[in-house]
Structure 1
Amino acid sequence: MNITKERILQAIQESEYILTSTHNKLCLPIINRIYKKMINGIKFDDIKVCDSTIIDGHHRYISSILANMKLEEAKSSKTSATIEYDWLDIEFVEEEWDTKDKILRLNELDALYNNISLEKIIELTK
């Protein structure tokens, strides 16, 4: 699937699992990597939520909506600096935010968390 802002907004609109964002910019390559893992059965940590607002886990949330999965939520809290954004106002950038080393480390952690080989994780994200 070609993941675009339009596809993301459509998936959110069609979903019954709606949360609010506290980020005004998200990374499409990260969403794409996580989505590929999710549709292949890779499990992820809970996202942190306060009421119906995502505090941590925005890329996982979007990926889960696209993969038609619901992630577990861990209770979190807002601060006075927390700003909520409408999904229509969020910028989804093509720029890669993660370094190759960070992607490798995340893949290692996902392999460990899911008790599968690093090679399998890498294969799933191609």
Structure 2
Amino acid sequence: MEEFEELTADVLKDFINITPTRYNTSQKKLCFAIIKRMYRRVKMGYKNLGGIKICNDKGIVIDGNHRYITYLLAGIEIEYIIWTSSLCDEVILYKEVEIDETKDWDEYLYDKRKFIKDKNFIESYNKENKNDFFP
């Protein structure tokens, strides 16, 4: 596991404002708590959080906006999965996206709530990845 500093909202905002991205988004908000948690886990060595679905025609992330920003922040390779978007998806630059610092969106999703705690995430990750990772 490499040494790293815990992500702050200011560091995230600065990164988004100055870093050019290959893809944009159609989301108007991102959740800081989710990105912070994913960033910590990626830095702990759990890098297989899944690919990013993108629409090349519009140049946007369809599924995986939080992972996309996390992977860029952590400087790790991104697996892109070609997908389609809705006709109503508008292109939004990441630097125009609002960062929600007040809520942890995963608290509202039953199937994700249990993964807020690192211990639960690590147990599930190791099962899904056949215990081939031992930090």
TM superposition score category, shorter chain reference: 0.7 to 0.9
C-alpha change, 1:109 and 1:49, in structure 2 (3 Å) is farther
Instruction: Give me the TM-score of the superposition, normalised by structure 1.
Output: 0.77
Q: What is the root-mean-square deviation of aligned Cα atoms in Å?
A: 2.7
How far is the alpha carbon of 1:72 from its aligned partner? 0.3
Instruction: Report 1:73-112 matches (<5 A).
Output: 73-94=80-101, 95-99=103-107, 102-105=112-115, 107=121, 109-112=124-127
1:98 partner SS? helix
33, 40, 45: which one aligns with 2:44: 40
Q: Alpha-carbon deviation of 1:83?
A: 1.3
Aligned length: 117
Q: Give the 3 Å change call, closer, same or farther, for CA 63–86 of structure 1 in structure 2.
A: same
SS of the aligned residue for 1:99 comes to: helix
Partner of residue 8 from structure 2, selected from 3, 17, 23:
3
The 1-side partners of 2:63 and 2:124 are apart by 17
Distance 2:35 2:74 in 1: 11
Structure-2-length-normalised TM-score: 0.72
Provide the C-alpha distance between the structure 2 equivalents of 1:33 and 1:115, rounded to a whole number of angstroms: 22
Distance in 2 of aligned mates of 1:112 and 1:10: 36
Match of 1:59 in 2: 66
Residue by residue over 1:33-92, the C-alpha shift from the partner in whole angstroms, topping out at 9 and shown as x without a partner, is: 110111122112111011131000000011111111121011100111111112222110
CA distance in 2, matches of 1:113, 1:31: 21
**2:3: which partner in 1?**
none
| % identical aligned pairs | 25
Unaligned runs of at least 5 residues, structure 1: none
Alpha-carbon distance change, 69 to 11 in structure 1, aligned in 2, over 3 angstroms: farther
Match of residue 113 from structure 1? 128
- Look up the match of 1:21: 25
Over 4 Å off, 4+ runs: none
Deviation, structure 1 residue 20 = 0.4
Question: Considering only CA atoms, is the larger Rg found in Structure 1 or Structure 2?
Answer: 2
